[in-house]
């Protein structure tokens, strides 16, 4: 059977993954179908149960809310008070912390221990009714660096577009092996999970906090023959100092989450001529990344790597303070349109209306654009410089 997941020495085939997630989905529908909230919290370490849980939530047409277990308790309390999940799926090792958090909330939170589920009690069959493309898929909270964290709502439409773009643009096949190392509270984790699972590729799940350990990552890349991996630029910088990509199978290293500096790009491309280095950009309010630049030492030797061009079915506009288009080379605010735009912020209509605005570009019909607040400019090549 084709392997879908591997965590340490445990593996799960695609057939087993489908059956187990179906059973959990049927359980959710049985226990929480009367709940007003369609949000389900996920409070689990990386591992096979984490992937089963996300798939089950989506199969049941719920919205998944990832809650990183290492987050400060006050932040978790804020997220739960704001989102009112119908339940939180956790495991025995985290129940005590979750009970402590629950005791500080105004309302009771339903906690489902995934390790105590008797799967044999629930149906193995696929759920016939599927989510609509415009339905909300997940809510991920922003960092809160500019105020309180905000629950960004994103749809199947945007996520599907992002996944299909990567599959088609970089020819992802069942021969690929992805490493899911990004924390679940960041949306990069979504493509790390769903690009391989949508193509029959293998997904490797490292130990929970291992993404902080370059030597551990180096070992996994080599032992598991990883072909696609993501780094934030600062982590990639450390990795290039301490480690080496010894696997001949690695073909794509993606970067996002921070600005990719010119010196990191140069060092990487001088060390690895046969590995693509991608500089990706995208705010939490849109469906993961919306631009991509394939790094090239010769193309822009005088500046840091640009964030590139829009991915498929995404429109980008650089606008002045009056929301007029600026010319090539002029600075302006990056605004995002079309399929990548999310559905605003959970329970925050005022800020949603400020950041997600109806606007007519080039006299076309009005559509919703997201105002990122990021200052950029078009380069003559068509790339965008941040």
Strand (E) or helix (H) holding 356:
strand 356-359
Q: Which residue ranges make up each domain of the chain?
A: 12-131, 311-385
CATH topology of domain 12-131: Rossmann fold (3.40.50)
pLDDT class for 102, splitting at 50, 70, 90? confident
Return the pLDDT at 359. 83
Q: Is residue 364's pLDDT more than 70?
A: no
How far apart, in whole angstroms, are the C-alpha atoms of residue 287 and residue 281?
11
Task: Reply yes or no on whether the pLDDT at 104 is more than 60.
Answer: yes
CA dihedral sign, ordered 293, 298, 299, 304: positive
Place of tokens 């790390």: 192
d(CA 304, CA 148): 31
The whole-angstrom separation of Cα 294 and Cα 113 is: 43
Sequence-separated (6 or more) residues with CB below 8 Å from residue 152: 139, 140, 141, 142, 284, 285, 342, 344, 345, 346
Q: What is the pLDDT of residue 173?
A: 98
Question: What pLDDT, in 10s, does the model give residues 254-284?
Answer: 999 999 999 999 999 999 999 999 999 999 9
Q: Please give the model's pTM, rounded to 2 decimal places.
A: 0.95
Q: What is the mean pLDDT of residues 169-194?
A: 96
CATH superfamily of 311-385: Luciferase; Domain 3 (2.30.38.10)
* Pairing verdict, β 384-385 and 367-378: antiparallel
User: What is the per-residue pLDDT for 282?
Assistant: 97
CB 203 within 8 A of CB 178: yes
Q: Is the pLDDT of residue 363 over 70?
A: no
> Is residue 166 over pLDDT 90?
yes
In this predicted structure, what is the pLDDT of residue 177? 98
């Amino acid at each position: 059977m084709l392997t879908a997941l591997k965590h340490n020495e445990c593996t799960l085939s695609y057939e087993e993954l489908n059956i187990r997630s179906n059973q959990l989905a049927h359980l959710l529908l049985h226990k929480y179908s009367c709940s007003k909230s369609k949000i389900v919290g996920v409070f689990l370490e990386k591992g096979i149960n984490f992937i089963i849980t996300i798939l089950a939530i989506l199969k049941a047409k719920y919205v998944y809310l990832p809650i990183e277990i290492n987050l400060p308790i006050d932040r978790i309390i804020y997220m739960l008070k704001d989102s009112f999940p119908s339940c939180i799926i956790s495991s025995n090792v985290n129940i005590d912390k979750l009970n402590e958090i629950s005791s500080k909330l105004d309302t009771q939170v339903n906690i489902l221990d995934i390790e105590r589920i008797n799967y044999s009690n629930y149906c193995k069959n696929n759920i016939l009714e599927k989510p609509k493309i415009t339905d909300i898929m997940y809510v991920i909270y922003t960092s809160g660096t500019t105020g309180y964290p905000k629950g960004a709502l994103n749809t199947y439409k945007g996520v599907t577009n992002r996944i299909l773009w990567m599959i088609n643009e970089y020819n992802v096949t069942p021969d690929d092996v992805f490493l899911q190392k990004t924390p679940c509270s960041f949306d990069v984790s979504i493509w790390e999970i769903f690009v391989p699972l949508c193509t029959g590729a293998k997904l490797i799940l490292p130990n929970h906090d291992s993404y902080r350990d370059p030597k551990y990552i180096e070992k996994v890349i080599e032992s598991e023959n990883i072909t696609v991996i993501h780094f934030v630029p600062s982590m990639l910088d450390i990795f290039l100092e301490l480690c080496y990509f010894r696997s001949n199978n690695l073909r794509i290293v993606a970067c996002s989450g921070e600005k990719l500096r010119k010196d990191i790009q140069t060092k990487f491309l001088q060390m690895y001529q046969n590995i693509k280095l991608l500089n990706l950009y995208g705010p939490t309010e849109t469906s993961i990344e919306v631009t991509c630049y394939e790094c090239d030492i010769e193309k822009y030797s005088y500046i840091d790597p640009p964030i590139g061009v829009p991915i498929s079915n995404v429109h980008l506009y650089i606008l002045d303070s009056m929301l007029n288009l600026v010319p090539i080379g002029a600075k302006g605010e990056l605004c995002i349109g079309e399929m990548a735009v999310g559905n605003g912020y959970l329970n925050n209509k005022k800020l949603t209306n400020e950041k997600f605005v109806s606007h007519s570009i080039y006299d076309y019909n009005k559509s919703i654009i997201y105002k990122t607040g990021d200052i950029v400019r078009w380069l003559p090549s068509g790339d965008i410089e941040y």
